[in-house]
Copies of this chain bind each other. A is one copy, B any other.
Amino acid sequence: MQDIIEGFLKFQREAFPKRSGLFKELATAQNPGALFIACSDSRVVPELLTQREPGDLFVIRNAGNIVPAYGPEPGGVSATVEYAVAVLGVTDIIICGHSDCGAMTAISSDTNLDHLPAVASWLAHADAAKVVNAARTHGSAQERLEAMVRGNVIAQLTNIRTHPSVSLALDQNRLNLHGWVYDIETGSIETLDGATGLFVPLADNPQTSATPATAGLAA
């Protein structure tokens, strides 16, 4: 904790003064363009990865970057998505998985979670990806994990489409969905191409999005 408090003192001395104008401007309003949904993992820092400043990214972080499908008892993720889309009007939602994810490793290796009942219950929101991944063949445990991380991003994109606020914004062509996987060791990101269902390097495919060209939800 000592390091955290010293970090804060350093923030006051160095980082804050550089941005005092920005913070003054932000004191009474925010206007982020995107909602970034990432794992709670300490190695995945959305603002660092995208070199964004305060005010740029509205952020949800939880174990496994999970978005429960919409239902009669919406929880914190549903509420925060609703706020981001219906109140703040974000134009992009990025669901970002990552390499070496503890939550996905637990699923991929079918770890016994009896002693972690809340974790077990939460990861059930990734069951649609879990059963697909378990039924496929993989070259190694590592490949199984990597496939699980990607499959989970796809499953959460399916889940988020059941949310009314997202459904409406997609219908009105004012929202794009993005599915990313970040690799901690190399610092690279792959993005889901909604048209093909494949992940491609983001650096080479900056225009690619998970939202299909044909508006599947609208009719």
A54 touches B58 (CB 8 A): no
Residues of B near A3 (CB, < 8 A) are 33, 52, 56
A198 touches B219 (CB 8 A): yes
A87 touches B102 (CB 8 A): yes
Residues of B near A55 (CB, < 8 A) are 42-43
Bin the interface of chain A by size: 35 or more
CA distance A176 to B218 in the complex (A): 20
A41-B12 contact given A116-B82, A197-B219, CB 8 Å threshold: no
CA distance A26 to B195 in the complex (A): 33
* Cβ proximity bits A46-82 to B, threshold 8 Å, 1 near / 0 not: 0111111011111111110010111111111111111
CA distance A188 to B68 in the complex (A): 35
* Cβ proximity bits A176-219 to B, threshold 8 Å, 1 near / 0 not: 10100000111111001011111100110010000010111111
| Interface contacts beyond A4-B56, A43-B54: sample of 5 additional A-B pairs, CB < 8 Å, sorted by A | A26-B184, A30-B43, A63-B80, A87-B116, A212-B212
Sorted nearest first, the 9 A-B pairs with minimum C-beta distance are A79-B122, A69-B69, A7-B51, A16-B187, A27-B185, A74-B118, A32-B42, A128-B167, A7-B50
